């Protein structure tokens, strides 16, 4: 399922003295089964943009095509239910989305609400728990007895149980240590590849964006100012300067080694593992 924006603008507090345009004439497409990252400074419009992806917000101007459903400011809310099922959003601190008294009930809530039978929903909850690497026994426990990391996985399981075509992640690794971040991102990468789900990630961690994303959309002052591969984005010095983005640490390390050793690698490393392999190969070549 593709999501297409056509000249979308959005105003908060419309027709009040506090009216503010958060998105300006956005035209862009999210193609199915790709892994996207949306990056930009705080206040650039990232969160407003992703709330349009499942029509939590509707455009003030322009329109979107979400699958075969067209959304504009006049679209009736009753027509949007299929979108909410197909585009799942995991907000920051997803564990705050939990509310049922058992993990099983929490994961099953969405599917049952959309018409799935209780037994089928229970099986779906079990499948999601297994996918996320948690023990089946956790289903009967209260989500509020679990660790923060486990709670976050339960919240994600609840979204995945809806069988979305698109998974939107708003800073999903915030508050996690480096190992927890890697585990979480590897999980999303696995979901993306094994289930064929489109992933749209908001992150301020550029090394994560570089390693996992197929395409990056850069937003500044409510406008999409660049769309390209992570490597092309992060090696575009004028773009980095004008948008105040950070260059990923692994690229900075590579440039520092190239300068110090007087060498030039023939590609940009997208992870520490890749850089180590490149460096060892370069050393062997010059021995």
pLDDT tens, residue by residue, 124-167: 999 999 988 888 999 999 988 888 788 888 888 999 998 899 99
Q: Which residue has the higher pLDDT, 150 or 47?
A: 47
Domains of the chain, residue spans = 1-91+214-241, 248-286
Q: Which residue has the higher pLDDT, 278 or 35?
A: 35
Q: Say which DSSP state 247 is in.
A: P
pLDDT, residue 261, reads 85
Contact 26, 224 (CB under 8 A): yes
Q: 229: pLDDT confidence band, cut at 50, 70 and 90?
A: very high
B/e letters for 245-281, b = 16+ CB within 10 Å, e = fewer, are bebbebbeebeebeeeeeeeeeebbbeeeebeebbee
- Give the Cα separation of 218 and 239 in Å (integer): 9
Domain 1-91+214-241 adopts which CATH fold?
Rossmann fold (3.40.50)
What average pLDDT does range 181-209 have in this prediction? Answer: 92
pLDDT, residue 286, reads 57
196 is written with which tokens? 């064929």
């Amino acid at each position: 399922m593709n999501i297409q924006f056509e000249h979308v603008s959005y105003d908060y507090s419309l027709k009040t003295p506090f009216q503010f345009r958060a998105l300006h004439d956005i035209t862009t497409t999210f193609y199915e089964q790709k892994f996207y990252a949306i990056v930009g400074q705080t206040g650039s419009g990232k969160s407003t943009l992703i709330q349009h992806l499942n029509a939590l917000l509707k455009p003030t101007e322009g329109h979107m095509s979400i699958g075969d459903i067209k959304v504009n400011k006049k679209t009736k809310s009753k027509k949007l239910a299929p979108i909410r099922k197909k585009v799942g959003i995991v907000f920051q601190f997803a564990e705050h989305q939990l509310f049922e008294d058992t993990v099983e009930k929490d994961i099953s809530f969405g599917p049952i609400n959309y018409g799935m039978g209780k037994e089928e929903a229970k099986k779906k909850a079990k499948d999601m728990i297994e996918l996320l690497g948690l023990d089946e026994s956790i289903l009967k426990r209260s989500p509020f007895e679990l660790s923060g990391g486990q709670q976050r996985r339960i919240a994600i399981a609840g979204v995945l149980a809806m069988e979305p075509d698109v998974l939107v992640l708003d800073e999903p690794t915030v508050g996690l240590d480096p190992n927890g971040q890697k585990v979480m991102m590897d999980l999303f990468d696995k979901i993306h590849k094994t289930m064929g789900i489109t992933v749209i990630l908001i992150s301020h961690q550029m090394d994560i964006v570089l390693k996992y994303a197929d395409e990056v959309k850069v937003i500044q002052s409510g406008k999409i100012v660049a769309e390209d591969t992570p490597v092309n984005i992060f090696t575009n010095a004028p773009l980095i300067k004008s948008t105040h983005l950070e260059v990923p640490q692994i690229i900075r390390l590579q440039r520092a080694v190239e300068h110090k050793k007087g060498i030039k690698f023939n590609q940009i490393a997208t992870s520490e593992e890749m850089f180590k392999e490149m460096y060892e190969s370069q050393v062997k070549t010059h021995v």
